[in-house]
Amino acid sequence: MDVTRRVPPTRSSLLAFGALGAALLALTACGAEGAGAECTAIGSSPGMNVAVEPPGAARVASASLRVCWDGTCREPEIELRPSSTSVPMGCEGEEPDAVCGASASPDGGKTGFAMVEGLPKAPVRVTLTLRDTGGRTLVDRRLDVTPKATFPNGKGCGEGGPQVVLTVADGTVTAA
């Protein structure tokens, strides 16, 4: 004969169960916030991305930035690295969930990112200087730009840090 004794829940077990339920509800709400999309913990740092297009990128050895707003300036570190483009390698089938591949191929450009803590979503003054291996200045441009919010998980999942992309092509600097 099997006799099962029912033990009433303790206060601590009820609190633990309630905390678990609240955590599950919060996770469900986060997923629902993106209108069907999953919201992850991916974020985006505030800062400036610099892209130097070929063929001029071949002469550029270093970059420096000066970013000013509200009477103060910051000079964040930035290291330029070779940029690349994706080259499709085809798919294994035609189905929507078929596995596809790509490889990175150097494109002759250079790119780098400078994190700028406290960067506002308001006008800032940026000075971008590019130098060659001998330290000679190739580009020295000052621009007024307005960083824009980023949404690394989509608009329904909240904002990341504001950013600006500075593109250098044929000695001309543009911002986006």
CB within 8 Å of 154: residues ≥ 6 apart = 34, 37, 39
pTM, two decimal places: 0.72
- Residue 9: the pLDDT is 42
Q: Which two tokens stand for residue 12?
A: 């601590």
CB half-sphere exposure, 115, CA atoms < 13 A: 5
For 89-109, write each residue's pLDDT tens digit: 999 998 989 999 999 999 999
- Residue 14: the pLDDT is 34
- For the chain, which ranges sit under pLDDT 70? 1-37
- Residue 176: the pLDDT is 93
Residue 164, CA distances (Å) to 13, 50, 67, 94 in order: 50, 9, 11, 38
Contact 176, 150 (CB under 8 A): no
Contact 52, 138 (CB under 8 A): no
For 40-51, write each residue's pLDDT tens digit: 888 899 999 999
- Residue 39: the pLDDT is 87
